[in-house]
Each structure stands twice: as C-alpha cells, then as structure tokens.
C-alpha cells in the first residue's frame, strides 16, 4: 500500500473518543483539543446548542427544553446520532478545509461493537477524513504511557476512564490478556450521590459529586485525612443545604466500585502467562486515564497485588498521545491499527 510506505502526512489527526473527554492530536502539533464528551441539544427540534466544555457546564442546570447528553455513557455509544454530531464538531474545529483530507486514527472504548466501530469510522469519513483507522484503547494507552509494546516482554496497563476500566497485558505488539469492565469514574460519582442521599438526605448533582471525588476521594487510608463542605438540596425541606464529609466517609462511599476495579486487575493478573507475570513484576503495572489520579489508588493496588504500580505521566493524555504516536510513526506501529476502513 502506497500510503503505508509514505506514512501519514500534513494535518492527519488522532482522536481519543472517550466516555468523559474527547482529545484530538494533530500530527506534528500534538494535542490541540481536549473537551468533555458532552452535547447540549434542544429537545424540541434536536438541534445542538453547545458541544464540549460549554455543554458540560449545562449538565444539571438545563431548563426543560434543553438536554445535556453524554453520547458515550457507560463505555458504549448510547446515542449514535449525537456521538457522530459531536465527533464532526470536534474534527471541524481543528481541521481547516484548506488542507487535503486527513487520515485519522480513532480510539474508542473496547466495549463498543464492531458495527459501532464501523459507524464511528464512517462518521469520521463523513466529517472529512480520507481514511479512518481504529486503535484499541489499551494499546493506545500503553503506547502513550511509553511502554515498549513491540518487545517480547510483558506490559500491563490499566486505563480508568469515565465509563470503563480497561486492563490489558501487551507483548510483541499484541494484547495477550485483557478485561474491560463498565466501571469507571462515573460509578464513583454515582456512589457519592447515593451516599449523600443515604447519610444526609442530600441531593447532589453529577458535577458536584465529581468535584468531591477529585478533591477528597481516595482508595486507601490517607496520611492525613481531610474533609470538605458538600452543597446540595435537602431532600426533606427542598432547600439548599451544606454538610461536612470527611475523606474517610467518601472512601467508604466509593469502596464498592473501587474494589471492582481492583478485582479486574487481579483477575487479569491471574490469567497472565507466567513469563509475562515475571516481566510485570520488574516493570510494574501502569495506570492511565483520569481515574489513575484518584488519591491512594496506586497504593491500594500495590497492597492488593504486591506488584509495583506506576501512575503514567499525564494519565489523562496517554490515549491521545499513544494514538498520535501511531500517526507520527505509522510504519513502526501500523500493526496495532485495524484496517477495516470502508475504503
Ligand atoms: P474517558 O477516557 O472515559 O473519557 P478520562 O480518562 O478522560 O475518561 O477520565 C475521566 C474520568 O477521570 C472522570 O470520571 C473524572 O472524574 C476522573 N478524574 C479526573 N481527574 C481525577 C482526579 N484527580 N481524581 C479522581 N478522578 C479523576
Ligand atoms: Mg479514555
């Protein structure tokens, strides 16, 4: 194939279509766009009113005729039309039509079906891509974390996103064992909402719950336990109310989903061939995705697996950087891309 020999050119781009955030990497420039995967639509005529950061601001604050939608909730494409609309919007935002049609590498959650993958490729082509390639998320995450995926050695990556956690062991450019669970940052937020309701009769919005998680959420005991004021609406009186919660309370609140993530890692380790396990013992397990930033998660995984745990540099950017690296070094990495393009 001629294009393989010449590699990617010009304004080719890589898209990390995440359940929480979408990032776009442009060849030779790096990450140029990073916005929440949210679309606000007018439900009367289905017109999009805002996309990305602007739309996320509207979550929980919309009048009845506006709906803020996350098209990729739970690691699957919940609303394909909206997803396509969003993808097109982001691509157009960074792609100037003056340039030739770009080639595109798109990373999608591995839980989506073959039909959906194909549909994402078509959406990308419809949005102006000459050709779209799909890369599996753990592979992109591992490349972005700087792991030597092409070597005959075991590399383990745990990518904790908004809707999913993907665990994979990679060697010689291929995924040897993997597991994807539909538990990610969103489930931690939901657990905090449940907790506030149960303990304080307090209704919390999704965004508030996420803020609390980021501020004082943790996966194991902290050296110094902290606390925060939580604002919401009293379920009894209907009035605004502020309560105080400690990091210990929040840790207890999110324990169930956190332990599911830990279990997924242990289960994957259990299925890993012994030679590769030995490699992991020296190299360590790499954490990527926003969930890797949860306080104490690395420590917790270390306690429970006995393995060294490394939080990747820039965990939120790993997948986009890894997908981008496939553009920059196409010849080297083309085997990890899937060529089921429609053209
Ligand atoms: P996706 O790939 O699914 O779009 P990301 O890798 O962008 O997901 O991660 C988003 C998730 O990470 C969200 O659930 C967000 O709340 C969570 N997150 C981001 N920063 C932190 C942090 N500092 N501590 C805990 N969770 C975080
Ligand atoms: Mg991701």
Q: For 172-229, write each residue's pLDDT tens digit.
A: 999 999 999 999 999 999 999 999 999 999 999 999 999 999 999 999 999 999 999 9
- 76 CB under 6 A from ligand 1? no
Q: How far is the CA of 98 from the centre of ligand 2 (A)?
A: 30
The pLDDT value given to residue 10: 54
What is the residue with the minimal CA distance to atom 20 of ligand 1?
Answer: 290
- 213 CB under 6 A from ligand 1? yes
- 75 CB under 6 A from ligand 1? no
Measured N-to-C along each axis, helices 185-200 and 247-271 cross at an angle, to the nearest 10 degrees, of: 140
- 163 CB under 6 A from ligand 1? yes
- 152 has a pLDDT exceeding 80: yes
Q: What does the pLDDT average to over 225-234?
A: 96
Q: What does the pLDDT average to over 244-248?
A: 97
Query: What is the share, in percent, of the chain residues with pLDDT greater than 70?
Result: 94
- 21 CB under 6 A from ligand 1? yes
Average pLDDT in the chain = 90
Give the whole-angstrom CA distance, residue 264 versus residue 178.
9
H-helix or E-strand containing 159?
A: strand 155-160
CA distances (Å), origin 158, targets 125, 145, 221, 261: 30, 11, 21, 9
- 317 has a pLDDT exceeding 80: yes
* Bridging pattern class, strands 155-160 and 285-288: parallel
Q: How far is the CA of 291 from the centre of ligand 1 (A)?
A: 5
- 315 CB under 6 A from ligand 1? no
Q: How far is the CA of 164 from the centre of ligand 2 (A)?
A: 8
Residue 3: band (very low, low, confident or very high) from pLDDT cuts 50, 70, 90: very low
- 110 CB under 6 A from ligand 1? no
Range name among 12-26, 68-82, 150-164 with the lowest pLDDT average: 68-82
Q: What does the pLDDT average to over 113-139?
A: 87
What is the residue with the minimal CA distance to atom 19 of ligand 1?
Answer: 290
Could you list which residues have their CB under 5 Å from ion ligand 2?
18, 161, 319
CA distances (Å), origin 115, targets 121, 122, 251, 342: 10, 11, 39, 12
Residue 63: band (very low, low, confident or very high) from pLDDT cuts 50, 70, 90: confident
Q: How far is the CA of 61 from the centre of ligand 1 (A)?
A: 21
Contact 161, 141 (CB under 8 A): no
Task: Give the number of the ligand closest to the Cα of residue 76.
Answer: 1
**DSSP bridge partners of 162:** none
Please report the atom of ligand 1 found closest to the CA of residue 22: 4
The pLDDT value given to residue 7: 46
Q: How far is the CA of 42 from the centre of ligand 1 (A)?
A: 27
The pLDDT value given to residue 97: 64
- 161 CB under 6 A from ligand 1? yes
Q: How remote is the C-alpha of 192 from its chain's centroid?
A: 20
- 338 has a pLDDT exceeding 80: no
Range name among 128-137, 196-205, 297-306, 332-341 with the lowest pLDDT average: 332-341
Contact 172, 279 (CB under 8 A): no
Q: Which residue has the higher pLDDT, 77 or 4?
A: 77
- 20 CB under 6 A from ligand 1? yes
Residue 60: band (very low, low, confident or very high) from pLDDT cuts 50, 70, 90: confident
- pTM value is 0.93
Please report the atom of ligand 1 found closest to the CA of residue 21: 4
- 311 CB under 6 A from ligand 1? no
The pLDDT value given to residue 117: 87
What is the residue with the minimal CA distance to atom 25 of ligand 1?
Answer: 294
Residue 329: band (very low, low, confident or very high) from pLDDT cuts 50, 70, 90: confident
Q: How remote is the C-alpha of 25 from its chain's centroid?
A: 15
Q: How far is the CA of 160 from the centre of ligand 1 (A)?
A: 7
């Amino acid at each position: 194939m001629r294009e393989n020999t010449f590699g990617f050119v010009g304004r080719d781009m890589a898209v990390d279509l995440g359940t929480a955030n979408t990032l776009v990497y442009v060849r030779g420039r790096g990450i140029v766009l990073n916005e929440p995967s949210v679309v606000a639509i007018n439900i009367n005529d289905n017109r999009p009113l805002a996309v990305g950061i602007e739309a996320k601001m509207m979550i929980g604050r919309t009048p009845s005729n506006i709906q803020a939608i996350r098209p990729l909730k739970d690691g699957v494409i919940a609303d394909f039309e909206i997803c396509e609309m969003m993808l097109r919007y982001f691509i157009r935002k960074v792609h100037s039509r003056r340039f030739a049609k770009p080639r595109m590498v798109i990373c999608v959650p591995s839980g989506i079906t073959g039909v959906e993958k194909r549909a994402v490729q078509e959406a990308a082509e419809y949005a102006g891509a000459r050709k779209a390639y799909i890369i599996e998320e753990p592979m992109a995450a591992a490349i972005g974390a700087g792991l030597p995926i092409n070597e005959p050695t075991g590399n383990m990556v745990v990518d904790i996103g908004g809707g999913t956690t993907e665990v994979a062991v990679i060697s010689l450019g291929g995924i040897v064992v993997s597991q994807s669970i539909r538990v990610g940052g969103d489930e931690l937020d939901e657990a905090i909402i449940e907790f506030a309701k149960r303990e304080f009769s307090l209704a919390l919005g999704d965004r508030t719950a996420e803020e609390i998680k980021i501020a004082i959420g943790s996966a194991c005991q902290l050296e110094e336990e902290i606390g925060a004021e939580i604002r919401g609406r009293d379920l009894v009186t209907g009035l605004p109310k502020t309560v105080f919660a400690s990091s210990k309370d929040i840790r207890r609140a999110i324990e169930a989903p956190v332990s599911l993530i830990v279990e997924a890692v242990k289960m994957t380790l259990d299925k890993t061939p012994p030679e590769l396990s030995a490699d992991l013992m020296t190299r360590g397990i790499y954490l990527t995705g926003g969930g890797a930033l949860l306080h104490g998660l690395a420590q917790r995984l270390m306690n429970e697996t006995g393995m060294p745990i490394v939080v990747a540099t820039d965990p939120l950017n790993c997948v986009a950087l890894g997908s981008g690296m496939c553009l920059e070094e196409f010849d080297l990495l083309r085997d990890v891309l899937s060529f089921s393009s429609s053209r």
